[in-house]
């Protein structure tokens, strides 16, 4: 069995600082790494400042930093820090009180339901799959950019 690195216990200041970075430059998402797979929790932060993400990695003690591809010569090279699944859950438990954007609601929903709806062996019952689909839809609706405006009615 793989030996995963444990997420470090963050001080209040570290947790608040990282929450601010996640609020400003990060994402809390449910992503598929491969087509046909179930979605998994990922917390990521993208930046053009590698020292910032090296600091995040050092303080958290888990996750990884990858280079993002630059498609145009005038674009600044950037990097992404990402942490997934149970390790991401451990980070969210610590930073949740300090999140201020819609990501606070996403973190709260994840912390309340993710473990219950994600069996470690990856085997889901039909009832779990249905409940998980509802959970994912709720989660995705918590992004203000995905919300649609109601059609304007007559005044």
In degrees and rounded to multiples of 5, residue 43 shows phi and psi of: -110, 125
Q: Where are the domains of the chain?
A: 12-141
- Rounded Cα distance between 64 and 6, Å, is 13
For domain 12-141, give the CATH number: 3.10.28.10
pLDDT in tens, 74-132: 888 899 999 999 999 999 999 999 999 999 999 999 999 998 888 777 778 888 889 99
Sequence-separated (6 or more) residues with CB below 8 Å from residue 109: 135, 138, 139, 142
Cβ count near 68 (within 10 Å): 13
């Amino acid at each position: 069995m793989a030996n995963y690195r444990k997420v470090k216990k963050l001080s209040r200041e570290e947790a608040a600082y990282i929450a601010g970075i996640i609020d400003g430059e990060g994402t809390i998402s449910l992503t598929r790494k491969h087509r046909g797979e179930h979605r998994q929790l990922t917390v990521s932060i993208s930046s053009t400042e590698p020292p910032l993400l090296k600091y995040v990695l050092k303080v958290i003690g888990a996750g990884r930093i990858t280079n993002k591809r630059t498609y145009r010569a005038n674009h600044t090279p950037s990097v992404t820090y990402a942490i997934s699944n149970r390790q991401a859950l451990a980070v969210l438990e610590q930073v949740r009180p300090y999140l201020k954007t819609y990501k606070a609601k996403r973190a709260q929903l994840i912390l309340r339901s993710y473990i219950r709806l994600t069996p470690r062996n990856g085997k889901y019952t039909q009832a779990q799959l249905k409940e998980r689909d509802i959970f994912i839809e709720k989660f995705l609706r918590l992004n203000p950019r995905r919300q649609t405006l109601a059609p304007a009615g007559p005044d």
